[in-house]
Amino acid sequence: MSVSTGPDPVPALLERLATVCVERGLRVATAESCTGGLIGHLITGIPGASTWYLGGVVAYANEVKAGLLGVPGSLFVEHGAVSEPVARAMAEGVRSALGVDLGVSVTGIAGPGGATPAKPVGLTWVAVAGRAGTEARRSVGPGGRDENKRAAAIAALELLIQVAEAA
Amino acid sequence: MSVSTGPDPVPALLERLATVCVERGLRVATAESCTGGLIGHLITGIPGASTWYLGGVVAYANEVKAGLLGVPGSLFVEHGAVSEPVARAMAEGVRSALGVDLGVSVTGIAGPGGATPAKPVGLTWVAVAGRAGTEARRSVGPGGRDENKRAAAIAALELLIQVAEAA
């Protein structure tokens, strides 16, 4: 199901993000689970992104979240991979691994499988780790796999911009 | 400039890739430079990709290629980041870092900047590292940034399928 929600917000978000990163000299890295690389793909669609975007980790499997991002295995057991603590640990892990100012993460259930009674398809946690600490936000996507991935990427970009502009 | 080239080949490529990976029990990881996460995004558009796709590294900056993928710094000096040796080292590095059967990499010049007399905008090297060794292939994309990223992703998927089907 495709939900019409007006103009695509992504181009304006990317422009705002590029502006604040260039103006403030902020370097950014991504840690993506359910979006699978979409955020990095969107960011690298901007010519010149290489001056502030270093790259990141596509941590689709939990072993990658643990191995490359240092997410403690106990968090998966206690909270599940789609949870605020895991999103926070992913953002902090990629910030540390790549030595950047801001690490942004996303973990969610894109669907159609993977839902539980407590966690619906579309549930997403995004987090941004910076010098002043880590912010996290919960959202629920519109339902289809593609739409959920895109909604999760937008939520991540929005939180990243908010933290960058407040930095 | 958008070049019409008939039907989009990506859905059929993804279906072939998923089929061979499931049938042969192959696990895959990605190491992306100029595509910035697009290959991971395309792969994770397939429901069930989590059974064979673990994730990877978006190695946009050379320091990420070196730090997370173990690409020797001498290769950048001797051959440049967009070169066959760097593509090979990225594929081998992500295969090793994530412990998968097949590591696929891409490094290229998406444009509009970054070209040199010897390396035009659109130049791409893709590589696939597997148990039997590493295959690499050179291609030149159609010119625009978005089209070059997509052409590079397609070249990577094609080589990945070829190696997987021969495994």
At A25-74, the pLDDT tens digits run 999 999 999 999 999 999 999 999 999 999 999 999 999 999 999 999 99
Q: Quick one: pLDDT at residue A167?
A: 85
CATH of the domain at A96: 3.90.950.20
DSSP letter, residue A54: E
Give the total number of structural domains in chain A.
Answer: 1
Q: If you average pLDDT over every residue of chain A, what do you get?
A: 95
Q: How far is A144 from chain B (nearest CA, A)?
A: 11
Is residue A4 assigned to a domain? Answer: no
Using DSSP, state whether B147 is helix, strand or coil: helix
Q: Which of A35, A39, A41 to mutate to test the interface with B (most CBs of B within 10 A)?
A: A41
> How many Cα atoms sit within 13 Å of A14 on the Cβ side?
18
CB contact under 8 A, A36 and B34: no
Counting DSSP H helices and E strands in chain B, the numbers are 6, 5
pLDDT at B2 over 70: no
Q: Quick one: pLDDT at residue A5?
A: 61
Is residue A108 assigned to a domain? Answer: yes
ipTM of model over 0.85: yes
Q: Give the rounded distance of the alpha carbon of A50 from its chain centre.
A: 18
Range of the domain at A129: 10-166
Specify which residues A123 forms β-bridges with: A140
Q: How far is A125 from chain B (nearest CA, A)?
A: 18
Nearest CA in chain A to B153: A41
Is residue B2 assigned to a domain? Answer: no
Q: How far apart are CA A165 and CA B20, in angstroms?
A: 46
Least confident of A140-149, A154-163, B11-20: A140-149
Q: Give the rounded distance of the alpha carbon of B143 from its chain centre.
A: 18
What does the pLDDT average to over B51-57? 98
Is residue B68 assigned to a domain? Answer: yes
CB contact under 8 A, A40 and B43: no
Tell me the per-residue pLDDT of B91-116, one tens digit each, with 9 for 90 and over.
999 999 999 999 999 999 999 998 99
Is residue A62 assigned to a domain? Answer: yes
Using DSSP, state whether B94 is helix, strand or coil: helix
Token pair of A106 as six digits: 């996303």
pLDDT level of residue A6 (50, 70, 90 thresholds): confident
CB contact under 8 A, A55 and B47: no
